[in-house]
Structure 1
Amino acid sequence: MAAQAEFFAGIPKISYLPNAGARDVMCFKHYNAEEVLMGRRMEDWLRFSVCYWHSFCGTGADPFGFPTLHRPWNEGTPMESAKKRLHAAFEFFTKLGVKYYTFHDRDMAPEGSTLEESNRNLDEITDVALQLQSQTGIKVLWVTCNLFAHQRYMNGAATNPDCHVLAFAGAQVKKGLEIAKKLGAENFVFWGGREGFLSIHNTDVAAELKHMANFFKMAVKYKEKIGLKCQFLIEPKPKEPCRHQYDYDAMSVIGFLKHYGLESHFKLNIEPNHTTLAGHSYEHDIVMASTFGMLGSVDSNTGSSDLGWDTDQFPMDIRDTTLVMKTVIEQGGLQPGGLNFDAKVRRESTDLEDLFIAHIGAMDTFARGLRNAVRIIEDGLITGMVKERYSSFSHGIGQKVEDGSATLEEMEVDNFKICPGTTDEK
């Protein structure tokens, strides 16, 4: 492979410097990859991943303004810039010190005028990605297919009222699964950005849900057919771009999977910014998914509660990361999932070094959250208080309720034992 120009010249590999001063921003002050906590290295608890779309395809454009981020890797023809972008990304991953990245199929390679051309483009670019992975040891945390941006998907993909659009989406996912196998992806994500409705008056909800379930079943069968060894994930979101999306929140997705018999094939990729859009607290869907054994991975970002839309900001709140990592530790880790920074620098952050500063800050925030979570678990204070709160379920009638053997008749008997006499006497 020909040598490539350095895109982040002057920026060395980011080091752990815990005693660095406040003005030293190009170093980790809390994230120490090799530090062992509860028998596992910090990097293994956190499993950080950089997302391709925001960090290397993002332009800073928004609904009210034109692009502001003019990146050196976006020069040349679409295929030339795709190759430059890939080299820039791996230089960034290496200097930042992360071991994983994530991408949509259309982030990696430009879409062609036909499916065949799109697939050829993807094959050519992922050949380069495979070489770079081999050279650096960096892996794919997950692959996903962009089934929402193209105009063909304006009415959805797996839930589209036109079966030919659904068929195109199926062909795109087929290729995506093949690419996931080629690159050794540890997970594959489905995000139903347009799987929902704007108006109930022209929507057959039952039909759309059934079609989406059958779409997932086709993906499961093809995954097994080609011998792809990865975890399937579904990412919930309540709205944007649809008024209502079927994958509204963790419980909606879990209910859907159980209803259609898919729960053994899927887990959830939780994005906390989506969770807050659903009206929940930051950690809510992470806790709920984990409670049901369905937490597979986390898109580690945040939003601004005063704005009320999906802003994809880097997480900088230690309270939030502490609660996330406490849940992760209690379920034994996220593997094969991880903490993927589905976040973007603000459109005003035009300097290349801002990409590093944003990721460094977020990684340090999660490192602090991890240390806090370890202390909470090891001192046992909160755990003991929770255990005491439910102590009545450890014996007698409570134990029967716990193991599912209690009856309503026994409930009545227990009530009279505790509170004998009439209601007035109570």
Structure 2
Amino acid sequence: MNYFESVPKIKYEGKDTDNKYAFRHYNPEEIILGKPMKDHLRFAVAFWHTMTEDGSDPFGDGTYQRNWEGNSPMDTAKNRVDAFFEILEKLDAEYFCFHDVDIAPQGDSLKEFFENIDVITDYIKEKMDKTGIKLLWNTANMFTHPRFVNGAATTNNADVYSIAAAQVKKGLDVSKKLNGENYVFWGGREGYENLLNTDMNFELDNLARFYRMVIDYAKSIDHQPQFLIEPKPKEPTKHQYDYDAATAMAFIQKYELENDFKLNLEANHAILAGHTFEHEINVARNYDSLGSLDANQGDLLLGWDTDEFPTDIYTATLAMYEVLENDGIAPGGINFDAKVRRTSFEMEDLVLAHIAGMDTYARGLRSAAKMKNDKFFEQIIEDRYASFSAGIGKQIIENKEDLESLTKYALSLNEVENKSGHIEHIKSLMNDYLV
């Protein structure tokens, strides 16, 4: 069965096309800074928002029109795989991502859940072998089921901790089976509601202990994907332990996990943390820990994780500039952790939304590459810190000064001359690079 019968294979036609089923900016084979655009971007489609969302919200039932419901949960699961790979092929997307509960019914027991996963991942592997499409990353959903009310690896219940371990073990087995390039941990319930009944240090120690078990098991099965922690400040837990990139890196360094873990960063999560997306990417890059990206955007008028498809060229440009400065993002990629709006309920909207996101990041890449070629930011930053390239500044950088010598120098100064940052002018000039 063709689930998207009216949708053709999406090809690049240029910005002047009036064909809505075409890329206007994403040209996968176009060479940017020495390699094809597709290799810079490494696009992935998220199974959860694409295949399991129904368009419901706290105030209304689902609105999405979907044609893959089967006669049983397993029939529906298989139909979803068929429809999903049809989308991937029509978009020419090379990667995908999923949670375990997205692809297989949980059934009445953990054993039944694992058996269902085996059946569905066998079917997914057939599709992968046939199409050449690859698994960017998978993960275990350890936040939806009621058992995880107090967390998974940070729970107060040793039985729940054990179930979480079993679920991740299964996830790693699946990752090896499907040759996953990364494995993600998003701790939706890894945090606390109130400190009055919480031993934070105990919970963080247990979380680190869990991650060390993961590392050991991956080595034992001879499968070592890049492990990624995804920061998010809130929703659903009031105080989540992986609040933002800096907080996650503090945890990683405290427990000496930096050789095994990097970060998967999401644009909407950055907004919730009070940051910009480029800030979070820059922090990770400065720690040599930029792993992968979830591409979406939030609504600045709303205070929750709206997971909109990215259409903001300014943000995409700055994000891609950081990626270029990082010399790429492989083995990570750019995963569309985004869902269509409740009012975009037709089947074709799933394809049209991904076209919009892919075109946006293609434009961001082109703009960032132009700025990098012109050394736009490098020149601005070099000028801003020029006082440290000669004289007393150079002496400081070369560790030739101390508090006494700097005090002597400071007392000799009659006045200090600061230079304007001209930030409004810089923003105006940057706008000229947006394509």
Q: Normalised by the size of structure 2, how large is the TM-score?
A: 0.93
Alignment partner, residue 321 of structure 1: 316
Give secondary structure in 1 for the equivalent of 2:263: strand
Question: Aligned partner of 2:383: which letter?
Answer: E
Is residue 2:47 matched to residue 1:16?
Answer: no
After the TM superposition, which residues 17-416 of structure 1 pair with which residues of structure 2 at under 5 Å, given as runs? 17-21=13-17, 23-404=18-399, 406-416=401-411
Question: Aligned partner of 2:83: which letter?
Answer: A
Aligned equivalents of 1:184, 1:143: Cα separation in 2: 10
Corresponding residue pairs, total: 415
CA contact (8 A) 2:65 2:347 kept: no
Give secondary structure in 1 for the equivalent of 2:262: strand
Percent of residue pairs identical:
48
Q: Decide which moves more: 107-116 or 259-268.
A: 107-116
Give secondary structure in 1 for the equivalent of 2:216: helix
Aligned equivalents of 1:337, 1:414: Cα separation in 2: 48
Deviation, structure 1 residue 92: 0.6
Question: Aligned partner of 2:385: which letter?
Answer: Y
Aligned equivalents of 1:213, 1:405: Cα separation in 2: 40
Aligned equivalents of 1:281, 1:388: Cα separation in 2: 24
Aligned equivalents of 1:140, 1:405: Cα separation in 2: 51
Compared CA separation, residues 84 and 373, structure 1 to 2 (3 A): same
Structure 2's unaligned 5+ residue stretches are: 416-435
Aligned equivalents of 1:70, 1:211: Cα separation in 2: 43
Deviation, structure 1 residue 403: 4.5
Structure 1 residues 172-213: Cα deviation after superposition (integer angstroms, max 9, x where no partner):
000101100110110000001011112221111111111111
Deviation, structure 1 residue 260: 0.9
Aligned equivalents of 2:233, 2:108: Cα separation in 1: 32
Structure 1 residues 64-108: Cα deviation after superposition (integer angstroms, max 9, x where no partner):
222222421122211111111101101110001110000001111
Compared CA separation, residues 221 and 364, structure 1 to 2 (3 A): same
Alignment partner, residue 431 of structure 2: none
Compared CA separation, residues 119 and 405, structure 1 to 2 (3 A): farther
Question: Aligned partner of 1:355: which letter?
Answer: L
Give secondary structure in 2 for the equivalent of 1:184: coil
Q: Normalised by the size of structure 1, how large is the TM-score?
A: 0.94
CA contact (8 A) 2:153 2:161 kept: yes
Compared CA separation, residues 206 and 11, structure 1 to 2 (3 A): same
Aligned equivalents of 1:237, 1:96: Cα separation in 2: 29
Q: Decide which moves more: 200-209 or 171-180.
A: 200-209
Give secondary structure in 2 for the equivalent of 1:49: strand
Q: Decide which moves more: 149-158 or 200-209.
A: 200-209
Give secondary structure in 2 for the equivalent of 1:73: coil
Compared CA separation, residues 339 and 416, structure 1 to 2 (3 A): same
Compared CA separation, residues 404 and 56, structure 1 to 2 (3 A): farther
Structure 1's unaligned 5+ residue stretches are: 421-426
Aligned equivalents of 2:214, 2:360: Cα separation in 1: 36
Runs of 4+ in structure 1 off by over 4 angstroms are 416-420
Give secondary structure in 1 for the equivalent of 2:184: strand
Aligned equivalents of 2:88, 2:166: Cα separation in 1: 31
Alignment partner, residue 423 of structure 1: none
Aligned equivalents of 2:385, 2:15: Cα separation in 1: 44
Give secondary structure in 2 for the equivalent of 1:290: helix
Structure 1 residues 112-146: Cα deviation after superposition (integer angstroms, max 9, x where no partner):
22222111111111011111101101000001000
Question: Aligned partner of 2:394: which letter?
Answer: Q
Aligned equivalents of 2:409, 2:19: Cα separation in 1: 64
Aligned equivalents of 1:175, 1:66: Cα separation in 2: 33
Q: Decide which moves more: 397-406 or 161-170.
A: 397-406
